[in-house]
Each structure stands twice: as C-alpha cells, then as structure tokens.
Amino acid sequence: MSQQIAGTPSGVGAIVARCEQLFEDLHFNAVKQWKAAAPGRKAIGFMPIYVPREIVHAAGMLPVGIFGGGDQMEVIQGDAYYQSYICRIPRSTLEMGLTGRLDCLDGMLFPSICDVIRNLSGMWQILFKDKYVRYIDVPQNYLDSVGGEFYIHEMQELRDDLGKLAGKAITDDALRASIAVYNDNRRAVQDLYAYRARKPWQAPTSEVYLVIRAGMVLPPEEHTGLIREYLISCEKENRPKRDNARVVLTGSFCEQPPLGLIKSIEMAGCYVVDDDFGLVHRWLLDEVPATGDPLQELSKAFLHRSNQQASKYDEKKEDKGKLLVHSVKFYGAEGVIFAAPSFCDPALLERPMLQDVLARQKIPYTAFKFAENTGQMAPIREQAGTFADSIKLWSAA
Amino acid sequence: MSTSANQPGTPVKMMPSSAAPKKPAAPVQKEDAMWLQKEMINRNYDELATAHETGRKVAATFVPGNLNELVMCFDFARSLPETNALQNGMRKKSGKMIMDAERDGHSEDVCTYVKADLGMMLGGEIGPTGQKLPTPDLLLLSYTGCFTFMKWFELIRQKYNCETVMLHTPYQGDGKISQNMRDYVVKQLKQAVIPALERVSGVKFDIDRLRQYMKESAKAEDDLVKVLQSAKNRPSPIDGYFGAVYYIGPMFTAFRGTPEATQYYDVLRQEIERRVAEKKGPITPEGEMAEEKYRLVVEGPPNWTNFRDFWKMFYDEGAVVVASTYAKVGGVYDFGFRHDPEHPLESLADYCLGCYTNMNFPQRIDMICKYMDQYQADGLLINSIKSCNSFSAGQLLMLREIEKRTGKPAAFIESDLVDPRYFSSANIKNRLESYFQMIKQKRSVAAGAAAVH
C-alpha cells in the first residue's frame, strides 16, 4: 500500500508529532528547507478553498496552503487593517505577511471564495509589491463551452505567469505528471477519510486534521507517503472504542477552528466522520485523467466532479445540501455540527438552507461559531456533549 | 411631469404628478428632481403590486450588474431587493424585519439587506409602500461585485421555488477587463440568461429592441455624468452622496433605458446647470446650503435608517460631499463607459464588469485619489458598513494609502445599511465634528505656512 519515504517518521506518535510541529510552525521552516534544498526553487502560497495546485507543482514550485495564524499567534498589525466585524483569517494572514513570516513565498494566490479574501488580493498587491499576486476566479457557470472555456483561459494565464516566474514554460507533460501526483495524493486523503469513518476511535480527527494540515506545507509526494504511513501506524494501535455519536462537521472550509476545539468536540462524545477542513485536498471528487489536454481535464473535473460548498453556486434548488446529506449517509453519521467562523458570510448564509434540508431528512444538527483563536472551549464542549447525548437518547428511543 | 420638460430652451420646473405623495408639511425640502424620482420609484412599486393581476411576469435582480435594458425586452416588471430593503430602512421598517429574520435562524453576523428582505417575506411580502409585492417569476442573479448576492437569491429560491438564472461576472483581480472575461459574460447572456428570460416570459428576444433601450441609456448616462461632475464647481450645486442617492435612483433601478429616465436626466441636468449658473449650493432637507465650508469625498454606502439625521450632520457644518463611490455602485459612467447600442451584449458585459465593487483595490484607490484631485476635496470620509464586506473589507488600508498619496486627511466612521442597531448618532457626530476641526486646522497651518513664504 505504501512505501516508506526517506525522512518520514514511523509510529503514529512520531507522525502526529511531526505534523503538529509543521502545523505550529508559522515561520514555515519546512518551506524554507524545501527551497534551500535546490537552487532556484520557488514557493507559492494559496488561501482556501481551492486552487489548481497541479499548475504550481508543474512549474517546479511548492504550493503552500496559508490557513491563517491559528490560536498561538498574537495579531497586532493585522488588526489595524480590519474592522471588528470582519473574520479573523485575513487579519492573521496579513500579520504573517507584515511580520516577514511569509517572506519565503514568492507569490500568493487568492481564490474566489468571499468578498474578504477577494479584497485581500488587492491589499496584497499594494502591501507586497515585489511578490507575484493573482486572484483566481473560478466559474459559477458549469457548461464546458462557457464556464469551462473561461476557466481554462484563467488557468492558462496562471500557467504562463508561473512559467515566466520559473524561467521556463510549463509543458503539457509536466502538467500531466503533476495531475498524476495529485491523483495519488487525493486517493490517499480519501483513504484516510474512509478509514476514519470506519474506525474513528483509531484515527481521531484531532490527528487526521494535523495530517491533512501537513499537506499544506509538504510536497504532495511526501504528504502522500505520510498519509500512508499514518494509516499503517494507526491500524497497529489499540485504541478504545467509545459509544460516541458519529457526526459530520461542516462550515470550516476557510478559517480553521483551533485544534483545541476539535479535541473538545471529540472529548464531548462525538466522532467526526466527515469534515470540510483543508478542502483543497478533496475539492476534486475523483481522478483527473492524466492523459489528454491537462487544462481541459482540470476544468472538467472542477465543473462536473467537484465538491459542493457555500462559495459555489447550486444551479438547482434540489441540489442544495445534496453532498452534505450524501456525506451523512455514506459515512453513517447520526448528526451534523455546523461550525462556522464568526462573520463568515458564505458559511453563515448557507447554514439556514442546509439546516432546512437536514430537517426535512430528519437529520439532527447543532450550530455554533468560532474564531481561529477561540480560547473558551467549555461552552462548545457542553453544546457538543448535549448534542451527542441527544443523538444517543433519540437513537435509542 | 410637465410635458414641456423636453423642449429645448424652455425653462423647466419639475413638479410631482398628482399621483405622487404630497410634500409633508414639515420644513423638509427636496429638489424637484428628488420628488420626481420618488414618484417614479413609487410608480414602479404600483406596477409590481399589480403585475400578476395584469398578466405581467416579475423579474428580481440586483443593482450592480442590473441588466434593465435586457429585462425590459421581455416585458418583465422589475423588482430590486436592495432597493426594497433600503426603502424599508428609510421608512423605519427594516429593524423589525431584520430581527424577524434572525429569529428565523439567520445569523446576526450577515448582511442586513438580506435579512430585511427575508424578514419582509416572513411578514407577508408587504413592500415599503404598504402594497404586497409579488413572488418573482425569475431571479436574475447578476452576480457582480458581491458574493452575498449568490446566497441571497439561493435563500429566496429556497422559499419561493422560483426559477433562478446566474450571470457570473468575473472580478477585475488584475485591474482590467480582459477579452476572456468579456467573452465569458457574453456567452452566459447568450446561452443562459436570454434563454431563461425567453422561457419565463414567453417573449422572443429582439436585439433591436435592446439597442433602442441602450440608446436611451447612453443619453441618460451622459446627463447623469454632467450632474455628478457639476460638483467640481465651487460651490457645488449638488451633494454627491446624499443628494446623489436621488439622482442615481432611476438609473440604477428599473428605469435605465426608458424614455422616462432619459427625460428625467435631461431635466435634472438643466436644473443643475441653472444652479451652477446662479452659484447656488445643494438643496438639503432644510433648504439650500448657505455656505460651503468643507468639500469631501465619501467611500461606502450611506446608512438608510437615519439617512436624514446623518445628512444633517454634514450640512449643519457646511460640509458637502463632492464625489462618492456609492454613486458608482450601479455603474461607473464618469470615466467614459456608455451602453453601446452597436455592441449591445458586449456593452452589457462591460457594464457589469465595470461596476465599482467589481473593481480591485488598487483601482478603487486610484479612483478616489482622482476624485480628491479633480473635485478639489478637502478630505476623504469612509463610512464603513458592517453589512457590506464587498465595500468594507480593507477600507482601513484604503484610508492610509489615500492619505499618503493625496496628503489630505481621511476619517473613518462605522454604521450599517438598514439595521438601526448599528447607527450610533452621538459617536458619528463626534467623529465628524473632530474631523471637520482637523480639516480646518490643517487649512490654517497651510495658510500660515503660505503667509510665511
């Protein structure tokens, strides 16, 4: 199933410890080390939710997921740029940029997700004039001849830009090879999620999350190996199975909850069997053919076989919540936890529609908000615990 | 409206028609054009209220990226939910609607336009004029410059189950409109939007009809630009923010492209030209502004729930807004764009792509700096709106950059669109008074320095 990659730690404790170290390192030393390993290497940051990382990879560059500053970093300068009613992730991202933590990045990609991240792309252009900055618009029209052509053109521009930055054009063969690398990575992530859903006591979400986050700073080949190692190591563990409620957690596709919050939900009696953390790894739902025209294949995968989420338009009313309901059924969940960042327009506007869909399907849910630096876990633990208890009581009734 | 209004050389005085609401007895004063636009907006509500009885279909769409000329080709009555929300805000009805929506499960964190609209639905769809508004037959999701629009219409669709068609306008991330962006919008118009409009209305698309409407639009746009640019005069004959709200009303809503709108803007321009010739200041709710002491550029939408109180804080101090970005939210016309009947669909695409909130940050900053210079403004005021991340996210950087580039003072206040809970009169008044003092002091220092040299 997997090959041991040089330098990859073995044993679940060691793997998780390494992932946690990568997660906590807001100076991105792993990225610096990767760049230093060969002359001329470049790294390109990207924000949630999705960018076609295959293009960055095919340019010989390292795509680096920038998912905010978490709960350990004090935000001082970043707060000076935002009003109190704006979410936390742009503040901490700016803080990292202004304090030099992101100097190792040669460019930043800002995907089309919400007005705040959209505007941040322009702010980045002003504040970091020597860096490559690109807003990645993705189509909300899903016809190949309309949205597809637009998207292919956008990807081609990114390809041309990165080719110039790299000093050599990105070939179709390089793109195909990168597509294959990310297919492999996606399979590994899917296996990880499937394993967790089968045995959530063996692969708790507080660990799975760290393994997923490691993929934001590691080369995809190494990340794939790490996941495989984790799965093997997990299976060797003998961890107690609890009578927890199986839940899907949704709404955390951009700003991430603190690790303590994930642990609190688990400690409160919930097994998270699906989530939308680090969705970039699972945005495309299946394999992208590594033959044929690579940009066309990436476009088709985006248009027809990609995740469903609040920043993406649902063409039909009947489509709303389809993937969430599927996830509940597929992973055998007993309820849904809506965990959205405060002031997150997409997640909070989407929530009532999804709740409506769940109510019609008689799927129980609960909802709360967080910020990436939320420190008080007791109320969340109590709410998640009450929810888990109610599921158990309700199921027994 | 007087039929003599369009006769060349005839001095025209616009009067509200008999159908218009009577002027209140209170000392509130408005320009005639303000009364007229109010009448037009009210008449549109009448049309909406009776649309289904009279066999007309109803399309709802948004102000930025409003394809009014195209929608008229299919005989739709036109509803604009943002306008409904702001009208409810001005009539002090929005607070309850927002709280009703929050009780129905909508977060306190999200856009209050959306919640005012959903609250209005919960209350039986009684519109700002007290008439019941119809369920839209089509939601034309002109997805321009605001992510919330998409969720807004998905939420309405969830309740009403009506047909929705998306027009995705790509953002000017690189500060320009590329051919790829234009082609994408045109293709959507041809392959998605027009077929949906035909299907729902039962009316076949006639491009010559569209061209005719666009000719009217271009004429009206010329006049609107002249009106807005009249604020370059000293004194400014208009307020380019509070007053401009009335001037942009017909253009940004259900009237652009109609002969009625063309006539309105022709008359308005003539009226403003007379004010320029007579060196008159703007009309405020308490009469003509006597002395122009401060000239400001304003970024961000106004607050609607306390609109008049807010305006009073300016005119009481002799402050006039000479240019505002909000007056460009439904179309930026003062840098040359006009609807072009020779290239109708491409022109509609350029219109959508060019709306203010679809411009990137460096473009928005450049535009404000130009206004500061061309309108000889003393400073910039940002009214940061809690509800509107599209406008607000990053405005503090905007403030710093513009101060740095122009050397003129900038100030920052916070309020909301239609949520009365977020309008703190005393705080805003204090902030504004301090700001005016700052401008005054800066002037004295500059005058002193000039005298020394």
Is the CB of A143 inside 8 Å of chain B's CB atoms? yes
Please report the residues numbered 376 through 405 in chain B whose beta carbons come closer than 8 angstroms to any beta carbon of chain A: 384, 386, 389-390, 392-397, 401
**pLDDT score of A9:** 54
Mind telling me how many Å the CA of B88 is from chain A's nearest CA? 21
Q: SS3 of B296, please?
A: strand
**pLDDT score of B24:** 52
Average pLDDT for runs of 10 along chain B of length 453: 31 38 58 81 94 97 97 97 95 97 96 97 94 96 94 94 96 97 98 98 98 98 98 98 95 96 94 96 93 97 97 97 98 97 98 97 98 98 96 97 97 96 96 96 83 70
Cα–Cα dist A216/A68, whole Å: 12
* Cβ–Cβ gap B191/A125 under 8 Å: no
Residue of B nearest to A317 (CA): B158
Q: Which residue has the tokens 């506007």?
A: A349
Which residues of chain A have a CB within 8 Å of the CB of B141? 313
Tell me the residue ranges of DSSP E strands in B206-285: 283-284
**pLDDT score of B249:** 93
Burial class of residue B445 (count of CB atoms within 10 Å of its CB; 0-12, 13-18, 19+)? exposed
Residue of B nearest to A120 (CA): B394
* Cβ–Cβ gap A145/B191 under 8 Å: yes
Cα–Cα dist A37/A57, whole Å: 16
Per-residue pLDDT reduced to its tens digit, A26-68: 999 999 999 999 999 999 999 999 999 999 999 999 999 999 9
Q: Is the CB of residue A86 less than 8 Å from the CB of residue B392? A: yes
Least confident window among A3-7, A150-154, A184-188 = A3-7
Is the pLDDT assigned to residue A2 strictly greater than 80?
A: no
Cα–Cα dist A135/A112, whole Å: 7
Cα–Cα dist A130/B255, whole Å: 46
**pLDDT score of B333:** 98
Per-residue pLDDT reduced to its tens digit, B386-411: 999 999 999 999 999 999 999 999 99
* Cβ–Cβ gap B414/A146 under 8 Å: no
Cα–Cα dist A342/B391, whole Å: 18
Provide the sign of the torsion angle of the four alpha carbons B181, B186, B191, B196, taken in this order.
Answer: positive
Please report the residues numbered 314 through 343 in chain A whose beta carbons come closer than 8 angstroms to any beta carbon of chain B: 314-315, 317, 320, 342-343
**pLDDT score of B35:** 81
What's the per-residue H, E or C state across A311-352?
CCCCCCHHHCCHHHHHHHHHCCCCEEEEEEECCCHHHHHHHH
**pLDDT score of B19:** 43
User: What b/e string do you get for A14-28 counting C-beta neighbours within 10 Å, with b at 16 or more?
Assistant: ebbebbbebbeebeb
Tokens at A116, concatenated: 């705040």
* Cβ–Cβ gap A145/B105 under 8 Å: no
Is the CB of A302 inside 8 Å of chain B's CB atoms? no
Among residues B214, B190, B191, B206, which one has the least CA distance to residue B74? B206
Query: How many C-beta neighbours within 10 Å does residue A306 have?
Result: 20
Task: Give the mean pLDDT of chain A.
Answer: 95
Q: Cis omega (within 30 of 0) on the bond before A49?
A: yes
Tokens at A22, concatenated: 């990568």
Please determine, for the modelled complex, whether the ipTM score is greater than 0.90.
yes
**pLDDT score of A4:** 42
Q: Is the CB of residue B25 less than 8 Å from the CB of residue B280? A: no
Burial class of residue B110 (count of CB atoms within 10 Å of its CB; 0-12, 13-18, 19+)? buried
Please report the residues numbered 98 through 117 in chain B whose beta carbons come closer than 8 angstroms to any beta carbon of chain A: 104-107, 109-111, 114
Q: B287-288 and B283-284: which strand pairing?
A: antiparallel
Is the CB of B287 inside 8 Å of chain A's CB atoms? no
Cα–Cα dist B402/B398, whole Å: 6
Tokens at B110, concatenated: 């999200």
The amino acid sitting at B5 is A
Mind telling me how many Å the CA of B403 is from chain A's nearest CA? 14
Among residues B162, B156, B103, which one has the least CA distance to residue B125? B156
Residue of B nearest to A145 (CA): B187
How confident is residue A390, by pLDDT bands cut at 50, 70 and 90? very high
Please report the residues numbered 41 through 80 in chain A whose beta carbons come closer than 8 angstroms to any beta carbon of chain B: 80
Is the pLDDT assigned to residue A130 strictly greater than 50?
A: yes
Per-residue pLDDT reduced to its tens digit, B50-108: 999 999 999 999 999 999 999 999 999 999 999 999 999 999 999 999 999 999 999 99
Which residues of chain A have a CB within 8 Å of the CB of B365? 126
Query: How many C-beta neighbours within 10 Å does residue A385 have?
Result: 17
* Cβ–Cβ gap B393/A90 under 8 Å: yes
Is the CB of A169 inside 8 Å of chain B's CB atoms? no
Angle in degrees, CA A329, A332, A337, rounded to 5: 85
Chains A & B: contacts with CB separation below 8 Å: 166
| Total residue count of chain A as it appears in this document | 397
**pLDDT score of B373:** 98
Burial class of residue B132 (count of CB atoms within 10 Å of its CB; 0-12, 13-18, 19+)? exposed
- From the list A110, A121, A353, the residue facing B154 with the nearest CB is A353
Among residues A54, A7, A10, A27, which one has the least CA distance to residue A299? A54
Looking at the DSSP assignment, which residues form a beta bridge with residue B295?
Answer: B320
Is the CB of B362 inside 8 Å of chain A's CB atoms? yes
Query: How many C-beta neighbours within 10 Å does residue A39 have?
Result: 6
**pLDDT score of B26:** 57
Among residues A129, A165, A184, which one has the least CA distance to residue A56? A165
Cα–Cα dist B446/B441, whole Å: 9
Query: How many C-beta neighbours within 10 Å does residue B447 have?
Result: 10
